Each structure stands twice: as C-alpha cells, then as structure tokens.
Chains A and B, each alone.
Chain A
Amino acid sequence: MSFEVLKPGIQATLQAAPRRQMRHFGVPASGPADPLSMALANKLVGNAVDECALECPLGMVSLKARTDCSIAITGAQVAAHIGNRGVGMHRTLVVMAGETITIGAPEAGARVYLAVAGGFAGDEFLGSRSTCLPAGFGGLAGRALKTGDIISTNTIPIAPSALETPDRMQQEFQHSYALRCVPGPDADKIAGWEAHQDFVATRRADRTGIEISGSWPKPDQAAMKASSPVFPGAVQLTPAGAAFVLLPDAQTTGGYPHILQVARVDRHLLGQIRPGERIHFLLRSPDDAARELREKLEFFWDWLPDLML
C-alpha cells in the first residue's frame, strides 16, 4: 500500500516517536514538532499516538492514494480535498484508490499532520522512524518529500471505526502564543531582564528552532559557557542579540546562555508558530509547570489514553 507524492510541500517529513538515549552521540530526538496534533491524527485512524505520520510545514502537499485507505488530517487549520470534495479536519476519512488528497495552505498554525491507518513505513534508524533532517536518516531516506516519491504504508488499510476529535480537544491556533516556561540555568547571569513583554518569531525557523526577536539583553562574552546539554524548548541568547528556541531536530549541546525553557505543557505549540507571530512568555516554577502538564494530559487522556507530551 502506498501513496505517490504529487506536490511535496516545504520540508514535509515522516515523524514518529522521538529517538531516545542517543543525545550523547549528538543525535537529536526528532519526532513531531507538535506531538499533540500528531497524536490526534493517529487516534482517528486507530493508530498508537506516536505511529509514523506525515508532518507538513505550511501544508501544500498533494498525495495520490494507490489503494483504498483511511486517513485523518489535524494540526494547523487548513482546507483539504479528496478529489474535488472538500473534507473536514479532525475526522476519519476514507480515500479510494486513485483519489488525490490535497492539503492547502493553512490559515493559522504552521504544521499540518496527515496520518494513515497502519502508519507510514519509514526507515527505522537508532530506534525510531522519525526523520532527522540535519543528519539525513530515518523516515523517507532521511529527507523531506520530493515530487514522484512513493511512500509506503503498513498493512491495515481501513480504520476500524469512523471517529471525530471531540470539539473541546480540537486546537485552534491564533496568531499569538502565550507559552508557559521556567527559568533556564543561566537566567540569573542576565541582569535587568523581564520576560513579561512581547516577542516576535522571525523567518529563521525550521525543525531545529525558531529565532525570536525582541528586546533581549545582549550577552557579553562572560555569559558564554562551556558546552552544556540542551533539550527542545531551550531558549538561548545569541551574540547578535536575538534568541533561539530549540525544536526537535536541534543540537544536543550548546554554549550560548540558556535563559528560559519552554515547559512541556506548552512545548507542542512551538511547532505551530509562524514567522511574524507574537510570543509571550509566562514564567512558572518547575513544579507548577509540571502540575499544569499533568492537568493538560489528564484532560486529553479521556480521548488519547497513551498521550505523552
């Protein structure tokens, strides 16, 4: 079972569970930039939440189904078609052999997720099928989709039942984001700085991170430190006076001052921020952020019992 890629979009990749226990080789976790949206897509086609699915930054992907199958589309709000029929997001959709799935350009949010019953058959490497673009492994030959690619799927063609994401669990993305975060290890080295102001995502954005402009303090040379472990969600100041927030394909160690850490409760939202959108940081204590994460998970566990963020 397979799909033919008619339009590849922009850096669309296969993503699955994060790669674990490999960061000390310099290998990032990869995995979906918005794991909640990917989990919701997988649920609708009867898959495990971290089954291999297609992540489409800024949409604009078109696939031709070569067999009958069930799919679902979630994530950034987008118009989608099967053949000429407009189809909704957040529901199980049946596609017949020969039909074309067309995903448009999102109105809000950055990444659209497309899941297929049984999951896509990506290359497994170092314990995960997630594509690692910087190193070129996992997923579809370690790279983004290209026109003419054939992407195979695993063996279950039709989802066992037709589902719809409960309304209250459908994320609606706006053009500004309030992100809960905790202080980073270097927060106290930067004097006279307030997180309580608006920042803006710039065009320098990919699966390794997003540059955030605003009135950041400019770190002096003394604030540079010996290379230290960093994880997705880390906000690091650059010598140029901007900041970078790290995404799943980011470097595993870094020497720039690490002043904030976007907490897991809101880290999935980083995958939906578009250039020009506003970001507001809400400071929490680590224990409060962890409690809010559990509250969010408990809310979603009714529908996605195996969700982790």
Chain B
Amino acid sequence: MKDFQIFLIGDDAVAVQPSDRIVRHPLARSLRSSGEWVDVVPGKEIVAAQFNPASLSPKDAVRRMEAWLEGFHADSDQEGEVVDLHLDTSSPNALDLEHLAASNELSPAAFLEKVTQSDLVVDMLGFTPGFAYVEGLDPVLKAERLAVPRQRVAAGSVGLLQGQLGLYGLSGPGGWPIIGRLTNRLFDLHRERPFLLTEGTRVRLNLMGR
C-alpha cells in the first residue's frame, strides 16, 4: 500500500503515516467514527489508533488497519470556522519578542505584522488540554526551541517556531519562545464547548494596545 505506511508504536497502538499529511484529519475522523479503536490521535505526520491487546493482537491490529484502509477515501476538508483571537504583546507577556525580532533583523512591530498577516490555521490540538498547533506562519520568521524549557508559561501564551505557532491552553512547562499572550480563554471547563479551537479552525490574530 503505497499511500500509507503502517507500523506499531507499542503493544497497544498502530500508526498510519499517509504520504500526504493533509489526509491525517479525514483519516482520524473516519477511524474514530468506525468505533473499532479505543482512541484515535493525530500527530504532525501520523495518526495513531489505540487498541486493547487483550482482545486484538498487535498483528491483527495491523491487518485490520490495512484492510480498513483499502476502503478508505479521504473526503475533502470543509473550510474551518474563523476565530478572532486577541494578542497582548506588552512586555511581561511577550518574553522573547524583542530577542526574536532582533535575531530576524526586524523591529518588534514588523515582526508581529508578519505574524498577524500569515494565513493561520489550527493543524491539531495535543500535548496538554487545549494546546493548539497552528500552521501557516510566514516561513521567513526563524526561531528555535529554548535551550532550557521554562517551568511555567501562562495559559494563553503564544509560542513561535519556524512555520508554526503553539497556543498554550493551560499554564505549565513550555519550551517555545513566547511572543505574547491571548486574552481569549482557549480552554474553559465551564463553557459548553470547553475548547475554543479545533483542527481546521482559521485563526485571525488581532494585536492589542501596542
């Protein structure tokens, strides 16, 4: 099967790597609705399906996945909804902005303009509750993970690596350089929809008070 690679990532999860990574999300949705897997989780390149090895041997899980993929056709992704987010880049909330802008030979304002004018889309949630991996960032902006992760970044913090943003749903440890903090709550357990964003959400970043 040339369009997909299938491999085990343990004794209780099988991974599918589509040759076209865009296929991950329709694939994950379809696997989830098949009801045959305990949990279905997309990553940046693969989709992992967890199974119970007491009732399905790993070998049979791989076979089941192979057979299922024979009949799988990716439906086209619908256009995601647009969510406006408000970014506070005042200095206590934008710990690494000055440094990142300087290393990219831009003023902070010019750096932020490239961020906000990028075509930003949530690729997936993962890591911790509500953490959003956002793609589409202007690739001219360069940044690397911090050499030493911070023990705590505030909920709503916006991290930046080349080509992507990471939106922290919760306070906690974080290794991405931080350019600001959202005033929107990405995760609120008292809301009917606790998660503000989901895969495919188009994000419009609006700068506040700068």
20 pairs, CB–CB < 8 Å, chain A vs chain B: A21-B39, A24-B32, A25-B125, A26-B130, A134-B170, A134-B172, A185-B9, A185-B15, A227-B127, A228-B44, A231-B12, A251-B128, A254-B127, A258-B9, A263-B12, A264-B11, A264-B54, A287-B57, A290-B54, A297-B54
User: Chain A's nearest CB lies how many Å from the CB of B153?
Assistant: 13
B residues in contact with A309, CB < 8 Å? 54
User: Chain B's nearest CB lies how many Å from the CB of A187?
Assistant: 10
A residues in contact with B11, CB < 8 Å? 182, 261, 263-265, 284, 286, 289-290, 293
> Which 10 A-B residue pairings sit nearest by Cβ, starting from the closest?
A261-B10, A226-B44, A253-B126, A286-B58, A290-B53, A229-B48, A228-B43, A229-B41, A135-B129, A289-B11
CA distance A23 to B131 in the complex (A): 11
CA distance A33 to B168 in the complex (A): 26
User: Chain B's nearest CB lies how many Å from the CB of A299?
Assistant: 12
The chain B residue with its CB closest to the CB of A297 is: B54
Interface residues on B, range: 35 or more
By a beta-carbon cutoff of 8 Å, the part of chain B in contact with chain A is: 7-13, 15, 28, 32, 38-48, 50, 52-54, 57-59, 124-131, 133, 169-170, 172, 187, 189, 194-195, 198-199
B residues in contact with A233, CB < 8 Å? 10
Complex contact B43–A253 (CB within 8 A): yes
A residues in contact with B41, CB < 8 Å? 23-24, 229, 252-253
A residues in contact with B32, CB < 8 Å? 21, 24
CA distance A223 to B161 in the complex (A): 18
Complex contact B125–A286 (CB within 8 A): no
CA distance A254 to B189 in the complex (A): 24
Interface 1/0s, chain A 117-138, versus B by CB < 8 A?
A: 0000000011000001011110
The chain A residue with its CB closest to the CB of B129 is: A135
Contact for B129 among A26, A185, A226, A227, CB less than 8 A: A26
- With A24-B28, A228-B44, A289-B11: A253-B59 Cβ-Cβ less than 8 Å: no
CA distance A233 to B189 in the complex (A): 27
By a beta-carbon cutoff of 8 Å, the part of chain A in contact with chain B is: 20-21, 23-29, 125-126, 132, 134-137, 142, 182, 184-185, 225-229, 231, 233-234, 251-254, 258, 261, 263-265, 284, 286-287, 289-291, 293-294, 297, 308-309
User: Chain A's nearest CB lies how many Å from the CB of B42?
Assistant: 6
B residues in contact with A136, CB < 8 Å? 189
User: Chain A's nearest CB lies how many Å from the CB of B49?
Assistant: 9
Contact for A234 among B10, B131, B199, CB less than 8 A: B10
CA distance A251 to B59 in the complex (A): 27
Complex contact B52–A308 (CB within 8 A): yes
CA distance A99 to B184 in the complex (A): 48
A residues in contact with B133, CB < 8 Å? 227
11 new A-B contacts, CB < 8 A, other than A264-B12, A286-B53, are A23-B41, A23-B126, A24-B42, A26-B131, A28-B129, A184-B10, A229-B41, A229-B46, A231-B10, A251-B127, A286-B58
User: Chain A's nearest CB lies how many Å from the CB of B147?
Assistant: 9
Contact for B57 among A21, A125, A182, A290, CB less than 8 A: A290
Contact for A23 among B15, B39, B46, B198, CB less than 8 A: B39
Complex contact B126–A287 (CB within 8 A): no
Complex contact A20–B48 (CB within 8 A): no
User: Chain B's nearest CB lies how many Å from the CB of A58?
Assistant: 23
User: Chain B's nearest CB lies how many Å from the CB of A186?
Assistant: 9
User: Chain B's nearest CB lies how many Å from the CB of A162?
Assistant: 30
User: Chain A's nearest CB lies how many Å from the CB of B24?
Assistant: 11
A residues in contact with B46, CB < 8 Å? 228-229
CA distance A284 to B11 in the complex (A): 9
- With A24-B41, A26-B169: A227-B13 Cβ-Cβ less than 8 Å: no
User: Chain A's nearest CB lies how many Å from the CB of B149?
Assistant: 10
CA distance A251 to B11 in the complex (A): 19
A residues in contact with B44, CB < 8 Å? 226-228
Complex contact A264–B53 (CB within 8 A): yes
Contact for A27 among B8, B52, B129, B199, CB less than 8 A: B129
A residues in contact with B10, CB < 8 Å? 182, 184, 231, 233-234, 261, 263, 286
Complex contact B53–A229 (CB within 8 A): no
B residues in contact with A20, CB < 8 Å? 38-39
Contact for B195 among A25, A132, A264, CB less than 8 A: A25
The chain B residue with its CB closest to the CB of A125 is: B189
Complex contact A24–B129 (CB within 8 A): no
Contact for B126 among A26, A286, A291, CB less than 8 A: A26
A residues in contact with B127, CB < 8 Å? 26, 227, 251-254
A residues in contact with B172, CB < 8 Å? 134
